Amino acid sequence: MDDFADNVQDTDIPEELPMMAVRDVVVFNYMILPLFVGRPSSVSAVNEAMSGNKMLMLVTQKDVASDKPEPEELYEVGMVVQIMRSLKLPDGRLKVLVQALAKARITDCKQKEPHFRVGITLVEEEETGPVTVEIEALMRLVREQTEKIMSLRGILSADLMGIVNSIEEPGRLADLVGSNLRLKVGESQKILETVDPLERLRLVANLLNKELEVAAVQAKIQSDAREEMSKSQREYYLREQMQALKKELGDDDSYTEDIEELNKKISKKKLPKHARKEALKELKRLEMMHPDASEANIIRTYIEWIIDLPWKKSSTDLLDLVKAAKVLDEDHYGLEKVKERILEFLAVRKLNTETKGPILCFVGPPGVGKTSLGKAVARAMGRKFYRLSLGGMRDEAEIRGHRRTYIGAMPGRILQGLKSAGTNNPVFMMDEIDKIGSDYRGDPSSALLEVLDPEQNNTFSDHYMNMPFDLSKVMFITTANRTDTIPGPLMDRMEVIEIAGYTQEEKKAIARTYLLPRQTKENGIKLNQVKMDDSIIDLIISSYTEEAGVRNLERELGRICRKLARKIAEGGKGPYSISKNTVEKYLGPPKYLPDAELDTLAQPGLAIGLAWTSVGGALLHIETSIVPGKGSLLLTGKLGEVMKESAQAALTYCRSRSSALGVEKGYFESRDIHIHVPAGAIPKDGPSAGITMTVALCSAITEQKVRKGIAMTGEVTLRGRVLPIGGLKEKALAALRAGITKVIIPKDNEKDLVEIPEEMRRKLIFYPVSHMDEVIELTLGSFKKPEQKEA
């Protein structure tokens, strides 16, 4: 660096240079410092200097806040510097490292835009002559004062003091000390403008003396503050010791205050007589107890639970039926049966305010809106909402709570939910009640019997509280995917409302009204930036989803919205029209092919049945093949016991109708029959595939194809009687999704057709049958085996 300094001394400094104003720093001779350059005029000045001799005039501005200072707002004396390095930062600013070359004075301003360009004259340093005793004494004084100030400020550096002690020139010592003193800009500028080195050193000595006094006072203030802090700490420790002594003596004021505070809360809270009596009894026990006793904290927590529970706090129901119907329609499309039941409850509530809360159970496949419907019910009634998930719950204490004898005991989830809701009449939703379990810790489903029984839950007793709590005002709503796994006694206490799923038209309306607006909002784009007509929504529903609900449909719409969000974030404006090609580009090739291709696969031995699953209805393809053998029956496709029995019954029926089927004697003894249900990895069971297996078997025997566009559901007896089934609406929806328009159903299920929306009934033709002969007539036409053609 010294070599660099020697070189710059020999550099010719021109009389005209670009000038840059700096805000809050005064540059002294021999200084090397980094600067951040951000103002456009300053960046322009640096760029000009870099393109030439790298020299720049630096002057300090008088007003630090000014962004575009005029010439009169700048000091006249500054420093000519040379730029050693320059780096452009990502935000457009420059970081430069400069070396001070010489002190200079501005004589005139040659240019203002885009940056200052000024004429300068160098300020020559006066000669000091030989070092006298006075100069030596002054220099020693400055060195000592500098060391004291740095010591008081805690920034004493051996390296810096080594440099200070090595300087023998008064002017250079004054510049070095002045640049490290953290002086005000005016004081630093005064040092810079003093030409005489001795005068400059005396000025620095005076400023050092002043700074030394300030630093001494500052150090004293800090010392006093530390002493005050130490005193406060001592007082804190003494107080803690006093508190400990009071506790040992049983005379703790804070403990007494806690007791009084609990007493006030019990007095103010509206509590039933039995709860108030129990709270006061426990409070008296707590008052007689030592505060450090292990049971004291348990009793205090118990009393707080009594105070916090909403024993008599109820929210006011909104009994405006028109408004409630409007809220339900805003949140959910269709579901008329559910909405009608809610409005009926509100109507009864309006006429009889003492009616008990109903226990509704929404049963349906995933994605049909069971949980969100509970929230809509709470909003329509103006009640608080609390949701509890029962899936996988196995501990009875989750419902009834723990007894207070256990460590970490707490009330069950029912009372916790009421405390969280803050009222004793919220809409309390219990999700996945069909997935509740039981083990050695108890049976939660049995514990729910009391909770969900309107005749018992007005005196529900939690093990932790050990006193009755009235749950009769709570509106309990449970959800399930299926009812066969719900225990019978629990099922008996609930009013089941089935939500089978949505038709194509309903899904389209839901996507248009709810899902697409919600997804555009969640992905930060506007609804008018997405142009999607009904045919595209139909395409997404039929080719990319296969569900009873709309959860996957919303996911697919969300995927499209995210693709568009990226385009808009990258500068696109939209609106974007979604076509068949763009759907395949965004979502990939169709996941589900239409079942119209079933017609091309039609052949003897193939029949299409309808099955019910926990996620909605589904098609069931049953294939039968007859080969020479010894009369055995082979069943494949991971079938359950019920379906195996249905296959046996179908075979027995066919054998009993041998003559009608036109087969010779010994036909079944000389052939093996293989019945296969594809998708072998998926377990299949249920009493509704009997007639489908029988039709497939008859079709294989007679070598006749089943008529096109027919699906069927029903169980068959050995004598050919067709038995009723469940889940008719779900199965009808599955047929409609697959494009099948003719459905054979048991005669006894004809009454269930009223549950199917009129829109679906218009698109489907139902054939009620009571005997297997009718099914054969509808599917095969007759029993007669076609004549063998001569070769």
Q: What residues are annotated to the active site? A: 688, 731
Give kind and range of the element (H or E) at residue 17. Answer: strand 16-22
Task: Decide: residue 612, CB within 10 A, 0-12 exposed, 13-18 middle, 19+ buried.
Answer: buried
Two tokens at 765?
Answer: 């033709």
Detail the DSSP E strand segments found in 553-639. Answer: 576-577, 606-613, 616-628, 633-636
> Of 434, 435, 431, whose CA–CA distance to 392 is shortest?
435
Among candidates 120, 115, 119, 175, which has minimal Cα distance to 142? 175
CA pair distance 320, 381, nearest whole angstrom: 9
Q: Is residue 493 exposed (0-12), middle (13-18) or buried (19+ Cβ within 10 Å)? A: buried
E strands, 629-774, in order: 633-636, 671-676, 710-712, 715-716, 722-723, 742-746, 765-769
* Rounded distance between C-alpha atoms, residue 641 and residue 648, angstroms: 11
Complete DSSP assignment for 279-337: HHHHHHHHHHS-TTSHHHHHHHHHHHHHHHS-SS--PPP---HHHHHHHHHHH-SS-HH
Residue with tokens 């006429």: 351
Cα–Cα nearest to 537, from 569, 583, 493: 583
Contacts of 317 (CB under 8 A, 6+ apart): 346, 349, 381, 382, 383, 425
Residue type at 38 in one-letter notation: G
Q: How far is CA 531 from CA 338, 526, 528, 547, 582, in A?
A: 33, 11, 7, 25, 12
Nearest-angstrom CA–CA distance, 520 and 517: 5
| Contact yes or no for 304/269 (Cβ under 8 A) | no
CB within 8 Å of 733: residues ≥ 6 apart: 500, 501, 502, 503, 548, 616, 617, 760
Give the CA dihedral 206, 211, 216, 221, nearest 10 degrees. Answer: 150
Give the Cα separation of 495 and 362 in Å (integer).
Answer: 9
Closest CA to 183 of 144, 209, 221: 209
CB neighbour list of residue 499: distance below 8 Å, 6 or more residues apart: 335, 338, 362, 363, 364, 368, 369, 370, 373
Q: Which amino acid is at 437?
A: G
**Token duo for residue 274:** 């039995």
